[in-house]
Amino acid sequence: MSENDALKAVRAQIDQIDRELLRLVSERARCALEVGRIKREGGAAGVLYRPEREAEVLRGVRAQNPGPLHADDAARIMREIMSACLALEQPLRVAYLGPAGTYTHAAALKQFGGAVTLVPANGTDDIIHQVEAGSADFGVLPLENSLEGPVNQTHDAVFASRLNVTGECVLRIQHQLLTHAPRLADIKRVYAHSQGLAQCRRWLAVNCPQAETIAVSSNAEAARRVTTETDSAAIASRAAAELYALPIAAQNIEDQADNTTRFWIVGHARVPRSGDDLTSLAFCTPNRVGALRDALTAFAAAEISMTRLLSRPLKQGAWEYVFFVDIVGHADDPKVAAALAQLTAATSMCRVLGAYPRAVI
């Protein structure tokens, strides 16, 4: 068989597989519509999106993936299929830190897929407001970065609201230097979000020591500004470079190769158990010696892993603090529920911010 005949045979096989894939995806979409109909007839109201169900499906895809596709790629394809199927019944509205091209924008697409309506917001408080007011079903908020630590505005805003944390998204951050300047030496200003500037501090000191660094509301806003300034640069994503038609002068300029940001997803509903969950909570302790130690004993005694602990000023009195903690397990797990009851008894205030599936991809 000639090379041309061999290629024709394989391509014919691919065409047949594609037709079968389309048939199966269409059948899945019809099943999704039937699920929605059954829920409506049963009196279910509100958003049909189920984070715990999605997490279970994606974990199954990863576990059963036979290759050669990477498990992450297989899961991403399935997430897009689920996103499109859900949109047939009820398109989601998701608020994110705008404008388009921010890393929060990328996190929203990664978490919910492309078949959603993305609603740009002016800041953290605006995201919270849009979800509370019903203008958006969910909001995506940057929580912490592996280089620069916690995003304080997010912790304060979620604590002040009554929304629930319904999920998390972990996004690898790769910063690009975008500019119309012909040489790095010609750059007089570098715009970026304060976190972006901090994550590229060493690179800027070596490669653009002459440039003034200017913090703006988002990296996408930085890119927008640079579209009309030939002696400025922006630290932003590849998506922002494409969106604003800006040349990339330097790639992946973050100071640490595994630079990663974790995002919280917030909404109204509490999320049932998925089988691999985290619980985020906030609490205050009495002002006495050993109060924090006594509070955390609840987790140690129950052999519950605590993955994060930080403090923020309570803003209701000098030197009063609220502690934010993430633990492994769902608040409805009997062991976790018992530990939370013990924690509540040992603290002056304790509130579960949300229990939700761990990030799958």
The tens digit of pLDDT for each residue in 71-100 reads 999 999 999 999 999 999 888 999 999 888
pLDDT at residue number 186: 95
Query: Where are the CATH 3.40.190.10 domain residues in the chain?
Result: 91-173+260-267, 176-250
Fold of 176-250: D-Maltodextrin-Binding Protein; domain 2 (3.40.190)
**CATH number listed for the domain at residues 91-173+260-267:** 3.40.190.10
Instruction: Answer yes or no: is pLDDT of 147 > 70.
Output: yes
From 3.30.70.260, 3.30.70.141, 3.90.1150.10, 1.20.1260.10, which CATH number describes the 277-357 domain? 3.30.70.260
pLDDT at residue number 257: 86
Q: At what angle do helices 71-89 and 51-64 cross, to 10 degrees?
A: 150
Fold of 3-88: Chorismate Mutase Domain, subunit A (1.20.59)
**Taking the model in full, what pTM does it have?**
0.90
pLDDT at residue number 48: 77
Structure tokens at 351: 């509130």
SS (HEC) of the chain: CCHHHHHHHHHHHHHHHHHHHHHHHHHHHHHHHHHHHHHHHCCCCCCCCCHHHHHHHHHHHHHHCCCCCCHHHHHHHHHHHHHHHHHHHCCCEEEEECCCCCHHHHHHHHHHCCCCEEEEECCHHHHHHHHHHCCCCEEEEEEEECCCEECHHHHHHHHHCCCEEEEEEEEECCCEEEECCCCHHHCCEEEECHHHHHHCHHHHHHHCCCCEEEECCCHHHHHHHHCCCCCEEEEECHHHHHHCCCCEEECCCCCCCCCEEEEEEEECCCCCCCCCEEEEEEEECCCCCCHHHHHHHHHHHCCCCEEEEEEEECCCCCCCEEEEEEEECCCCCHHHHHHHHHHHHHCCEEEEEEEEECCCC
pLDDT tier at 260 (50, 70, 90 boundaries)?
A: very high
pLDDT tier at 2 (50, 70, 90 boundaries)?
A: confident
Instruction: Answer yes or no: is pLDDT of 113 > 90.
Output: yes
The tens digit of pLDDT for each residue in 163-219 reads 999 999 999 999 999 999 999 999 999 999 998 999 999 999 999 999 999 999 899
Query: Where are the CATH 1.20.59.10 domain residues in the chain?
Result: 3-88
Mean pLDDT over each residue of the chain, to the nearest integer:
93
